[in-house]
Amino acid sequence: MDHSEQDLTRQVTLYKSQLRGLRLSNETNQARLLDASSRADQDLVSRLAEADMVLADLERANSRVATVEGRNVRPLLPDGVCFLSVRALNAT
Which pLDDT belongs to residue 63?
94
Number of domains in the chain: 1
With cut-offs at 50, 70 and 90, classify the pLDDT of residue 77. Answer: low
C-alpha–C-alpha distance, residues 44 and 63, integer Å: 28
Which pLDDT belongs to residue 19?
98
With cut-offs at 50, 70 and 90, classify the pLDDT of residue 5. Answer: very high
Which pLDDT belongs to residue 80?
55
Domain containing 14 equals: 3-91
Which pLDDT belongs to residue 72?
77
Q: Encode burial over 22-31: b for 16+ CB neighbours within 10 A, e otherwise.
A: eeeeeeeeee
